Structures are given as C-alpha cells and as structure tokens.
Amino acid sequence: MFKWVNPKTKIEAELSVPEHVAIIMDGNGRWAKKRGLPRIMGHREGMKSIREAVRTAQELGIRSLTLYAFSTENWTRPEEEVSFLMKLPKQFLETDLKELHEQNVRVLVAGDTSKLPRETREAVDEARERTVANTGLNLVFALNYGGRDELVQAMRSIAVDVQSGSVRADDIDDRMIGERLMTHVQDVDLVIRTSGEQRLSNFLLWQSAYAELHFTEVLWPEFKREHFVEAIESYNARTRRFGGV
Ligand code: FPP
C-alpha cells in the first residue's frame, strides 16, 4: 500500500501497488522533433525518465519494473539510430550501476542478447552478475526482445523434447510454456504506454494476458513521478476479475 495525496483533488488515498509494471517507453522521436533535434536526442533524454521511473518504482514498493528498451523490430531503424540505442545500456550502467547495486536493485535482461554488440552484451552481463544476489526491485531491460520471438523459442524447445520422448504432448500446459520463456519474468499487472499509442507492439504477450493497460499522451522523455503515480491511481480504479465474475 502507498499513501498518496492527489495534488488536484487534495484527497488522501491508500493505493494498492501492482507487483509487476511494464513500460513501453514511446515518443522519444516525437519529443526530439518538437524541439528541432535529431531523434537520438530523444532517446538520450529518455534515459533520464528511466532514472526517475526506477526511483519511483522503489518508492512505491513495486517488485519488478520491465522497460521495453529495444524490440526485435527496432533493427529496421536507420543504422545511426540503432547504433546509438545500442550504446545507451552501457552508458546508463556506467553511471548508474553502482547506485543501483547499493540500493539493492537486481538488474535483469529479457531478450536475445546474443545479437547485441559485444560491448553492450558485456555491460549488461556484468550488471546481471554483480546484482544477482540483490533482493530489492527487479529492474528488467527488454533488449532485442519480441513477444512472438520468445514464444517461438519456447515452442521449439518443447518440440525437441516431444520428439525425443521426454515430454508428452498432453503434458504441455500454461506452466510448462511459461517456464520455457526466455524472460522468466512473472505475470505483468500493469502495462503503461506513453505517447498516446494504444497497442502492445509485441511486448510481453504471454505475461500480459491479464494485465491492466494504461495509456497516456505524455511522451516518454516527459514521463515523471506524477505520471507514474497517475497510472497507479488508474490501476486502483479497476476491478481485476481474471476472467471470473
Ligand atoms: C520508442 O520511441 C523508444 C525506443 C524504441 C527506445 C527506448 C529507449 C530508451 C528510452 C533509452 C534506453 C536506455 C537504456 C538505458 C536501456 P520512438 O523512437 O519510437 O518515438 P516516436 O514514436 O516518437 O518516433
């Protein structure tokens, strides 16, 4: 529970906090364009919002925060932009890993890291290894991540076991598929997408089966603590029935 006074209504409320929040950080390009800047400047500014979101997640007591940093489709962007985006995780970890570690944050990565440039992979591997025993916020970067890609990998690995006879087709269930996903992230309670777009864009398709969705017009570089708390307020206004009544 999180005690919160709404600045507009001045009403004090106790908010129940979702365990796992996943964010589609959209609108960096438009933020830059509005200012006559190259798109990459939007991504750089977006890193500041990541910092603030991590702080807010810790303050609220969220267990896991998953951030969609690079999708399997993002490789089709201009080379200069891809190369800039690939440098950001290392830059971010160089400046922030020490503090994250001190704050007991565990850094994790979802996605196929084998295709990332070596320097990026090494930086995220180091962060994962250094923070592996931390028990605070799970901070998951989705890097070269695709929900369908993840499901394809899981289906393939099960098919191999069916072929070898170690798994019977009848044994395949929700749990088995969930366990074979490369992310191993828990179910998502709340998905936030910034910039006014209202779609999942191949993000955590399996894990978001019962997630609440919150869309805001705010562009990611402008997404601050107040917007995060607004999303939690809107989550509190929903009744989650998980298919029941
Ligand atoms: C979508 O906005 C954003 C991305 C594809 C990249 C998000 C990456 C960051 C916020 C920085 C990552 C940093 C770390 C530390 C991992 P867009 O470019 O599609 O925006 P647009 O729709 O306005 O063009």
14 is in an annotated binding site: no
Which whole number is the average pLDDT over 145-154? Answer: 95
Residue 39 falls within a domain, yes or no?
Answer: yes
Question: What pLDDT, in 10s, does the model give residues 50-80?
Answer: 999 999 999 999 999 999 999 999 999 999 9
Supply the residue whose CA is at minimum distance from atom 16 of ligand 1. Answer: 89
Dihedral over Cα of 92, 94, 100, 104: its sign: positive
User: pLDDT tier at 109 (50, 70, 90 boundaries)?
Assistant: very high
- Residue 1: pLDDT over 90: no
Residue 132 falls within a domain, yes or no?
Answer: yes
Residue 243 falls within a domain, yes or no?
Answer: no
Give residue for tokens 């440098």: 87
26 is in an annotated binding site: yes
Q: Which domain holds residue 190?
A: 2-236
Give residue for tokens 């864009």: 201
The half-sphere exposure of 87 on its side-chain side, counting CA atoms within 13 A, is 9
- Residue 15: pLDDT over 90: no
Which whole number is the average pLDDT over 107-120? Answer: 95
User: pLDDT tier at 243 (50, 70, 90 boundaries)?
Assistant: confident
Contact in structure between 179 and 185 (CB atoms under 8 Å): no
Extended beta strands in the chain, E state: 2-5, 12-15, 20-24, 64-71, 106-110, 138-145, 190-193, 212-215
Residue 244 falls within a domain, yes or no?
Answer: no
Compute the distance between CA of residue 205 and CA of residue 225 in angstroms, rounded to an integer. Answer: 26
| Ligand 1 site-directed mutation target among 28, 31, 198, most atoms within 8 Å of CB | 28
Spacing, Cα 105 to ligand 1 middle (Å): 22
Residue 10 falls within a domain, yes or no?
Answer: yes
Crossing angle (nearest 10°) for helices 118-130 and 79-102: 20
Which residue did the predictor score with more confidence, 60 or 241?
60
pLDDT for 14: 87
Task: Give the mean pLDDT of the chain.
Answer: 94
CB proximity list for 234: less than 8 A, separation 6 or greater: 212, 214
- The CATH number covering residue 177 comes to 3.40.1180.10
The count of domains in the chain is: 1
**Active-site residue list:** 26, 74
Give residue for tokens 């394809």: 152
Compute the distance between CA of residue 51 and CA of residue 143 in angstroms, rounded to an integer. Answer: 17
State the virtual CA torsion across 149, 155, 161, 167 in degrees, nearest 10: 150
Question: What pLDDT, in 10s, does the model give residues 19-50?
Answer: 999 999 999 999 999 999 999 999 999 999 99
36 is in an annotated binding site: no
Spacing, Cα 61 to ligand 1 middle (Å): 25
User: pLDDT tier at 11 (50, 70, 90 boundaries)?
Assistant: confident
Compute the distance between CA of residue 241 and CA of residue 168 in angstroms, rounded to an integer. Answer: 32
Residues with CB under 6 A from ligand 1: 25-30, 43, 46-47, 50, 69, 74, 85, 88-89, 92, 141, 195, 220
Measured in Å, how far apart are the chain's first and last C-alpha atoms?
A: 25
Question: What pLDDT, in 10s, does the model give residues 170-227?
Answer: 999 999 999 999 776 789 999 999 999 999 999 999 999 999 999 999 999 999 999 9
Residue 64 falls within a domain, yes or no?
Answer: yes
Residue 245 falls within a domain, yes or no?
Answer: no
Residue 56 falls within a domain, yes or no?
Answer: yes
